[in-house]
Structure 1
Amino acid sequence: MLLAAILSLISSSVLLAQTDTVTTHSFTLEECIQYAYKHQTDVLNADIDQKIADAKVKETIGIGLPQISGNARFQDFLKIPTSLIPSEIFGGAPGTFTPVQFGVKYQSTTGIDVSQLLFDGSYIVGLQASKTFKELSQRAFTRTKIETNVSVRKAYYMVLVNNEQLDLLNANISQLGEQLKQTKALNENGFAEKIDVDRLNVLYNNLVTERENIKRLLALGNQMLKFQIGMPVEHTLIVEGKIADVNLADNEEVVLDTTAYKSRIEYSLTQTQIKLNELDLKRYKSQYLPSLAAFGSGAYQFQSNNFNQLYDNRFPTVVVGLQLNVPIFSGFQKANRVAQAKLELQKSNNNLFQVKNSINLDIKNSATSFRNSIASLNNQRANLNLANEILRVSKIKYEQGVGSSIEVTQAQTSLKEAENNYINALYDALVNKVNLDKASGKINE
């Protein structure tokens, strides 16, 4: 018994600790999106890519800054090099040579080298290209945020729709349960047949089963939303808001806006790519220009036959100068690079036209799909209201003895079907709204 009590206490403590570590969030749609911007993996990686591009720009700038390096060298000539000089210098016979050794056993050198690029056309163009590359990474970051925004909206709306369907089922189950209760009472008093009760029981059980399925789908949708925003799945997420808060008004002006393509990040990305290709062409052309650099170096040389006295005497050397490189002929390589860059630029301009055309088509398709879904939603909402009215009338007729239980069960079945159709139309309308907002550039981050 003591062991059982200890285990129970430990289990309770562990359970309490686990409960304390569970974090609960209550988010609106906008809060879900902002959370995703700070935690979603794709967004975080895109932000890192921005920082990499920024470091790349600074790396390119560094090429034009002074380049300084130090060097040190130590040599121990185990065998000092021997040279042959004419013996005549020492009074020897002409045509003969005398071996002599120049230098000392130990030598050491320390120095510093400095260079500064003064002019290089490729470097100047490279600076411009690096900044444009940084701009490209920023636009890619924006595109990632837009894609994340769209995914979060769709997952969020799925949760709202499941909540709406659950509310409809709860209301349906409540009124059907009341009707079932009344029918049982009528049957017990001999005013209704047992088959009437059985029919309603079947409908009631089906609705309860469907409600449990929707609850599981709701839990799954909630998990999907947490995944889309980068939230740990063990956290608790409570979705605030209702379907009624979403504006599903049909917006005609979107189709009439012929400049909406300019708001799309895909168009901006293609424009930036064209700028990069233009700079690439400029860079290859700049390779025909000469380059000029300044350099300088200073060193101390130490020599001695005795290692202990190696650094007693030093001999300084200093040199400064200019280096000019003038390209003359490179086997037509530069000309062919320029030709390739021109063709790449032409392809980019063709792509820009294609992107513009594609975006305009996307806008029109999205607008048409949205209008169709709104029309379908309005129709299914009307059908739902009509199904409710038919059920109400059928119940009154049955209670007054001028209708049959079959009419009531058929009306109840029709109501369930109308609710399902309404929910499907509602989700389609919400998704198509997101697609339209994205297509028209309204979702821009």
Structure 2
Amino acid sequence: MRSTFKIIFLILYSFQAKAQETISFKSIDEVLVYAEKNASVFKISNEQLAFAKYQTLISKINIFNPRGNASASATDNLQLPSNYLPAEIFGGVPGTFKETQFGQQYISAINIIPQIDLINIQSWQIIKASKINENLSIRTQLLIKKNLFENIAMTYYTIVSIQKQIKILDANYVNNKKIEDVVTNKNKEGLARQQDVNQATVNLLQIEDKKSQLTTTLLQQNNALKVLCDIDFNTNLSINYSESKTEKSITIDVNNKLLSQQSNLQKDLINQELKSYKSSFYPTLSAVGNWTYQDNSNIGFFNANSNTFQSSYIGLRLNYLLPEASKYLQKRTLKINLNIAQENAKHNQLQEKNANEQLKVDYQKTLDSYTISEKILILKTDTYNKNLEIYQQDLVSIDNLLISFNDKLNAELNTVVNQVNTDYLKTKININNTIQ
């Protein structure tokens, strides 16, 4: 009985340990490395790339299109056909016929008919299309990787930003609590109104509300990061962000060309498919052959005394399929698709240039905002400290003190948001410049 309890305890403990598993990340690079190894989207894209390479291999083999038929038969003629021969051959009356049966009752045969293409223009064009499709799969895989890494980076830095904001709220909650204590003591001494105490308490509650909302958002973003990286939902996620010094005088260029490369390859693929389809209107030249083995006997199949013979031939065959009306419709469809792909390629190239330029502008704008917010924070902090000092001397109202306190708090939150956004955009630029 005691051993049974031990087994049950060990099972429950193992489940609990699994449920409490924790994954820690200290940088965005660690998250991206983990995602590249575990995210299902990469496993799917790898399978698609492997399939594209397999298609290229098969198209090379199919250039000769080796094919053929092989058959074997064993026939037992239960009743041989009747034939009527002139009776005079057998010494009979001229002008009369005699019924006879002749032939082999047991006939066995093996027949092999091979064929390979010597000239098949469409197969050559298909090889080119397969190679283009393979390159397209590689570019698509890289584009998927870039987009996923950007989403992971955005979620990661959102988590970092929220964690920093919660720390700021906790620190300012303590400061606001001190203000409430001061106001409460003054109220007890008859130096402050109850309304002043209420205002200080309301400010505390507002900080608690902000923290509660951020905590909920943090949980949502943690779950979102688990989905992006394919982390088990029951796993605890720990983000320990290492502070990095933001460079404020740096020129960053963005030159990602994956989208335009993908669009151009899609255009080239459709163009090559059109060429391949046009080639299907051409005739093909094939080498054909035949080998036949036959065994005849009236005793049984494959008898030692049976009559056997073989026959074979080789030759050339010119094949031409008369085009149907549907083929012309398919050809027209491919031409239209090519025109659409060309227009998409032009638009995507323009869109890509705009996205690269916009990313540079966003980074510079956020960097400027971060620089300004730091200066504002210094001024707001100085104003608050001075108001707190003169409030204790009854030279300023609680309203002005709380306004300066909230201004300082908002300046702190705004500064940390701008700082993290700057790091995020810098990471996004690095992703765009690396994955291409």
CA distance in 1, matches of 2:195, 2:336: 81
Q: How many Å apart are 1:148 and its aligned residue?
A: 0.8
Q: Specify which of 351, 358, 361 is matched with residue 358 of structure 1.
A: 351
What TM-score does the superposition give when structure 1 sets the normalisation length? Answer: 0.80
Distance 1:89 1:132, change over 3 A: farther
Verify: 1:406 aligned to 2:409, yes or no.
Answer: no
Residue 211 of structure 2 corresponds to 211
CA distance in 1, matches of 2:310, 2:249: 82
Distance 1:102 1:160, change over 3 A: farther
Residue 267 of structure 1 corresponds to 260
CA distance in 1, matches of 2:61, 2:40: 31
Residue 46 of structure 1 corresponds to 45
Q: How many Å apart are 1:215 and its aligned residue?
A: 2.4
Verify: 1:278 aligned to 2:308, yes or no.
Answer: no
Does the residue aligned with 2:294 lie in a helix, a strand or coil?
strand
Distance 1:334 1:224, change over 3 A: closer
The within-5 A match list for 1:53-72 is 53-63=52-62, 64=64, 66-67=66-67, 70-72=70-72
- Contact 2:106–2:301 (CA under 8 A) maintained in structure 1: no
**Alignment RMSD, CA only?**
3.8
- Contact 2:104–2:296 (CA under 8 A) maintained in structure 1: yes
User: 1:307-327: CA deviations, max 9, x gaps?
Assistant: 466576362424231223154
Residue 239 of structure 1 corresponds to 239
Distance 1:237 1:333, change over 3 A: closer
- Contact 2:126–2:276 (CA under 8 A) maintained in structure 1: yes
Q: How many Å apart are 1:411 and its aligned residue?
A: 2.2
Residue 35 of structure 1 corresponds to 34
Unaligned runs of at least 5 residues, structure 1: none
Distance 1:12 1:347, change over 3 A: same
CA distance in 2, matches of 1:362, 1:89: 102
Single out whichever of 299-308 and 210-219 deviates more from structure 2: 299-308
Single out whichever of 374-383 and 314-323 deviates more from structure 2: 374-383
The within-5 A match list for 1:314-353 is 315-325=308-318, 327=320, 330=323, 344-353=337-346
User: 1:159-183: CA deviations, max 9, x gaps?
Assistant: 1111111121122112222333444
Q: Specify which of 10, 16, 20 is matched with residue 13 of structure 2.
A: 16
Residue 198 of structure 1 corresponds to 198
* One-letter amino acid of the counterpart of residue 22, structure 2: T
User: 1:6-28: CA deviations, max 9, x gaps?
Assistant: 98x88865552223324322222
Distance 1:41 1:105, change over 3 A: same
Single out whichever of 111-120 and 155-164 deviates more from structure 2: 111-120
CA distance in 1, matches of 2:38, 2:228: 10
Does the residue aligned with 1:245 lie in a helix, a strand or coil?
coil
The within-5 A match list for 1:71-82 is 71-80=71-80, 82=81
Q: Percent of counterpart pairs with the same letter?
A: 18
Residue 390 of structure 2 corresponds to 397
Distance 1:294 1:210, change over 3 A: same
Verify: 1:149 aligned to 2:146, yes or no.
Answer: no
- Contact 2:294–2:309 (CA under 8 A) maintained in structure 1: yes
CA distance in 2, matches of 1:92, 1:430: 117
Verify: 1:415 aligned to 2:408, yes or no.
Answer: yes
- Contact 2:76–2:105 (CA under 8 A) maintained in structure 1: yes
Q: How many Å apart are 1:48 and its aligned residue?
A: 0.8
Q: How many Å apart are 1:229 and its aligned residue?
A: 1.0
- Contact 2:168–2:413 (CA under 8 A) maintained in structure 1: no
Distance 1:118 1:399, change over 3 A: same
- Contact 1:107–1:310 (CA under 8 A) maintained in structure 2: no
Residue 159 of structure 1 corresponds to 159
Verify: 1:442 aligned to 2:433, yes or no.
Answer: yes
* One-letter amino acid of the counterpart of residue 442, structure 1: N
Unaligned runs of at least 5 residues, structure 2: none
Does the residue aligned with 1:234 lie in a helix, a strand or coil?
coil
CA distance in 1, matches of 2:206, 2:7: 43
CA distance in 1, matches of 2:190, 2:275: 97
* One-letter amino acid of the counterpart of residue 226, structure 1: K
- Contact 1:289–1:326 (CA under 8 A) maintained in structure 2: no
CA distance in 2, matches of 1:98, 1:380: 121
CA distance in 2, matches of 1:135, 1:115: 32
Distance 1:185 1:151, change over 3 A: same
Q: How many Å apart are 1:339 and its aligned residue?
A: 6.4
CA distance in 1, matches of 2:325, 2:193: 100
Matched positions, count: 430
Q: How many Å apart are 1:84 and its aligned residue?
A: 6.0
CA distance in 2, matches of 1:89, 1:158: 111
Distance 1:169 1:326, change over 3 A: same
